Amino acid sequence: MDLTTIQSLEAQYLFPTYARVPLLLERGKGPYVFASDGKRYLDFITGIGVNALGHAHPRILKVIRDQSKKIIHTSNVYYNEFQGVLAQRLTALAGMERAFFTVSGAEAAEGALKVARSLAQKISPEKIELVALHNAFHGRTMGALSVTGQTKYRAPFGPLLPGVRFVPANDQAALAAAVNANTCAIILEPVQGEGGIFELTPDYLATAARLAREAQATLIIDEIQCGLGRTGKPFAFQWTDLVPDIVITAKPIASGYPLGVIMARGTAATALTSGTHGTTFGGGPLACRIALEVLDILESPGMYERILETGALLKAGMTKLARRHKFVKEVRGKGLMLGMELDRPAAPVFNRMVELGLLANVTHDTIIRMLPPYIIEPKHAKKALGILGKALTAI
Ligand SMILES: Cc1ncc(COP(=O)(O)O)c(C=O)c1O
The best mutation among 104, 150, 225, 371 to test binding of ligand 1, ranked by most ligand atoms within 8 Å of the C-beta, falls on 225
Tell me what the pLDDT averaged over the chain comes to.
98
Ligand 1 centre distance from Cα of residue 138 (Å): 5
DSSP codes, 255-287:
TTS--EEEEE-GGGGGSS-TTS---SSTT-HHH
Nearest ligand 1 atom to the CA of 144 is 4
CA distance 25 to 50: 15
Whether the Cβ atoms of residue 101 and residue 74 lie closer than 8 Å to each other:
no
**Is the model's pLDDT at 23 over the cut of 90?**
yes
Residue bearing the CA closest to ligand 1, atom 10: 105
The residue whose CA has the least distance to atom 16 of ligand 1 is 225
Atom of ligand 1 nearest to the CA of 140: 11
How many residues are given for the chain? 395
Round to whole Å and give the CA distance between 18 and 16: 6
What is the tens place of the pLDDT at every residue in 311-355?
999 999 999 999 999 999 999 999 999 999 999 999 999 999 999
pTM of structure: 0.98
pLDDT 10s digits, 40-49: 999 999 999 9
Is the CB of 252 inside a 6 Å radius of any atom of ligand 1?
A: no
Assess whether the C-beta atom of 253 lies below 6 angstroms from ligand 1: no
Written as one letter, the residue type at 302 is: G
Is it the case that residue 395 has pLDDT exceeding 90?
no
- Eight-class DSSP state of 55: B
CA 223 to centroid of ligand 1, rounded, Å:
9
Assigned CATH for 3-57+302-394: 3.90.1150.10
Tell me, in angstroms, the distance from the centre of ligand 1 to residue 248's CA: 10
CA distances from 294 to 253, 257, 275 (A): 7, 11, 30
Please report, for the chain, the start and end positions of each structural domain, with discontinuous segments joined by +. 3-57+302-394, 71-298
Q: For residue 246, what are the β-bridge partners?
A: 220, 264
Helix (H, G, I), strand (E, B) or coil at 33: strand
Pick the CATH number of 71-298 from 3.30.420.40, 3.30.1330.90, 3.10.310.10, 3.40.640.10: 3.40.640.10
Alpha helices in the chain (DSSP H): 3-13, 46-49, 58-70, 83-94, 105-123, 142-146, 151-154, 172-178, 202-214, 285-298, 303-324, 347-355, 378-391
